[in-house]
Structure 1
Amino acid sequence: MTSMDISLCLCTFRRPALLDTLLADLARQDRLGLTCELIVVDNDPQQSAASVLDTWRATFPFELRPLHVPEPNIALARNAAVQAARGEFIVFIDDDEQPSDAWLAQLIQTQRSSQADVVIGPVEGRLPPDAPDWMARGGFFAAPSMPTGTRLRYTQAYSGNCLLRAAMLARLKGPFDPAFGVTGGSDTMLFRDAELAGATIIWSEEARVSEEVPPSRANLRWILRRGYRGGQSFIRSDLARRRGWDRAGRTLWLGLRATAQLLIAGALALACLPFSKARGIRWLRTACAQLGKLGALAGHRYLEYAV
């Protein structure tokens, strides 16, 4: 590897307590003897992470490099981290997640065994004690499970728990697209570009992180909104690089397909709800995703990260 092997990167926005917990977890990581740095991008104009970072800089077991990106835009923050990174591999984790002590080692070992350009690990949501039963049964915040080494499509990848080859990122424009910075979906767009460029995306079942699901998310409204936003991200990322007749034809096909899927999912939601709330809501979420697709085709943008 290079003189700097791993650049751990995280972007934070007004979560100083969660950031403090995460930094403690990252300090305990098994680094397999590799040279590491930690880049923390504070995306809050008021620099709410500054005091936490100042406290940790003196005692952190490897180099901690704070950055400030004052414009709230997750893509700009991620790009700043990538541009500052000196490692051969870049690892992203979200500021509200908690990794196991072997998390980083597992990502690295999966990359070594597969020689993948991208490694993705599971993110398991921890529901609050008073969450309704249907939420757990429906697996709305559960991580997928599959054997380590499974090859993924870009639609299955996300930036909350991933390792990326820096040389691959250097070949991509951005690499995160700021046009998706307040709507969400900049990571989906990056992984789509990476896949089109020939990158291999591999799953690491053992590289697990967890996140506490706050009450603001542990509810039906948020789940359905998330489905809507996911549908929007799918359409926007699918069409973003298309031009001319290719874009027009694809737009027509996606619109017709989303309409059919909306009707089917809506009917199945109504049929399932009286017998299984979890299954009915899963179909309802699918219906909302189709609405999100149609909304995106009509020009609507749901600004998930707007402040």
Structure 2
Amino acid sequence: MARVTIMIPTQRRPDGLAVAARSVFAQTGVDRAELELVIVDNDQIPSAKPVVDDLAKVAPFPVLYIHEPRPGVANARNAGMAKATGELIAFLDDDEEAPAGWLSALMAARERFNADVVFGPVKARAPDHIVEHRDYLERFFSREGPVEAQILDRHYGCGDSLIRRAALPDPVAPFSAERNHIGGEDDMLFGHMGAAGARFAWEPAAWVWEDPVPSRLNLSYTLARAFAYGQGPSSHCAAAAPADYLGVARWMVIGVGQALAFGVVAGFKWLTRAGDRAEWLDRAARGLGKTFWWGPFKIQFYGRTA
């Protein structure tokens, strides 16, 4: 078995961090002698250290604590990569909980498909008191994919993934610091890897729970996030070298059409109090994001520690 680093970046989520880490300790079907857990604390002060110290006392394998005070998820992940010793890097978020067979499923799929990166599903669960738009909110924070394990022609995000370190363009600092404040550093990395011929795979058995932060379980947050997601294709074309201005124009036109069409449907659904009204508003927001993607319209979700 290759040495595996499980990495959890965290910022001011002590309870979620403890749940995520303890789920890592409970993994089965793997050689624990070849595992290590790297926890990266992306707060200005080392606020997660007391939690990590307590976790380390009951851990079945080494736990390494890293304090990265520079704000931004790319900085946090790069700080962890610089200290990690694994040939394989498994990423788990600090609001996720992995079933006991999670890691072994990721590793089996990597061997089966000779994959450079393996992704698994994320199943969001909202607290019982969330009633309005509950189905939409759980779907929003979930990750769905093919029913069968298979090779992918696309990629997903970093949470719940296993990466072969040797396939990274930079094995020490692969995540772009320019994405610290807006996110998408994992999409940029996997996009570059895909263009270089990396092999992606999907394993439905490697699923995790996600418990979204309660303050995010509302339309104010999800629609702003949907708008930011919509900005991705246009921003990606603009950031290409050389810039793909034709691609930018194409996505902006598509965005206008989506915003108008989905917006009209969303308005009707809202007037009739249809159960799926939030989904249509989400689609309209993503269309707007494709259209308004540049500087003053960028929304900062990351890179804040103050």
TM-score normalised over the length of structure 1: 0.90
Structure 1 113/172 Cα, relative in aligned 2: closer, same or farther at 3 Å?
same
Structure 1 12/31 Cα, relative in aligned 2: closer, same or farther at 3 Å?
farther
Where does structure 1 lack aligned partners over 5 or more consecutive residues?
Answer: none
Could you say which residue in structure 1 is the equivalent of 2:11?
Answer: 13
AA partner of residue 106 (structure 2)? L
C-alpha distance in structure 1 between counterparts of 2:278 and 2:88, whole Å: 39
AA partner of residue 224 (structure 2)? R
The answer (yes or no) to whether the contact 2:113–2:151 under 8 Å persists in 1 is: no
Identity %: 30
C-alpha distance in structure 2 between counterparts of 1:228 and 1:80, whole Å: 29
Structure 1 137/255 Cα, relative in aligned 2: closer, same or farther at 3 Å?
closer
Could you say which residue in structure 1 is the equivalent of 2:163?
Answer: 164
Residue 23, structure 1, aligned to residue 21, structure 2: yes
1:131-210 to structure 2, matched below 5 A, reads: 131-136=130-135, 139-154=139-154, 156-171=155-170, 174-210=173-209
Give 1:272 shift.
Answer: 3.2
Structure 1 32/240 Cα, relative in aligned 2: closer, same or farther at 3 Å?
same
Could you say which residue in structure 1 is the equivalent of 2:90?
Answer: 91
Q: For structure 1, which segment, 170-179 or 204-213, has the greater mean C-alpha deviation from structure 2 after superposition? A: 170-179
AA partner of residue 98 (structure 2)? P
The answer (yes or no) to whether the contact 2:14–2:48 under 8 Å persists in 1 is: yes
AA partner of residue 207 (structure 1)? A
Could you say which residue in structure 1 is the equivalent of 2:288?
Answer: 291
Equivalent residue in structure 2 for 1:267, among 264, 269, 275: 264
Could you say which residue in structure 2 is the equivalent of 1:251?
Answer: 248
AA partner of residue 152 (structure 1)? L
C-alpha distance in structure 2 between counterparts of 1:113 and 1:275, whole Å: 49
C-alpha distance in structure 2 between counterparts of 1:302 and 1:134, whole Å: 23
AA partner of residue 123 (structure 1)? V
Could you say which residue in structure 2 is the equivalent of 1:82?
Answer: 81
AA partner of residue 147 (structure 1)? V
AA partner of residue 176 (structure 2)? D
TM-score normalised over the length of structure 2: 0.91
What CA RMSD, in Å, does the superposition of the two structures yield over aligned residues? 2.1
Q: How many residues align?
A: 302
The answer (yes or no) to whether the contact 1:40–1:67 under 8 Å persists in 2 is: yes
Where does structure 2 lack aligned partners over 5 or more consecutive residues?
Answer: none
C-alpha distance in structure 2 between counterparts of 1:299 and 1:172, whole Å: 33
C-alpha distance in structure 1 between counterparts of 2:295 and 2:197, whole Å: 31
Q: For structure 1, which segment, 85-94 or 54-63, has the greater mean C-alpha deviation from structure 2 after superposition? A: 54-63
Q: For structure 1, which segment, 101-110 or 126-135, has the greater mean C-alpha deviation from structure 2 after superposition? A: 126-135
Q: For structure 1, which segment, 220-229 or 272-281, has the greater mean C-alpha deviation from structure 2 after superposition? A: 272-281
C-alpha distance in structure 2 between counterparts of 1:261 and 1:137, whole Å: 19
C-alpha distance in structure 1 between counterparts of 2:113 and 2:135, whole Å: 33
The answer (yes or no) to whether the contact 2:81–2:172 under 8 Å persists in 1 is: no
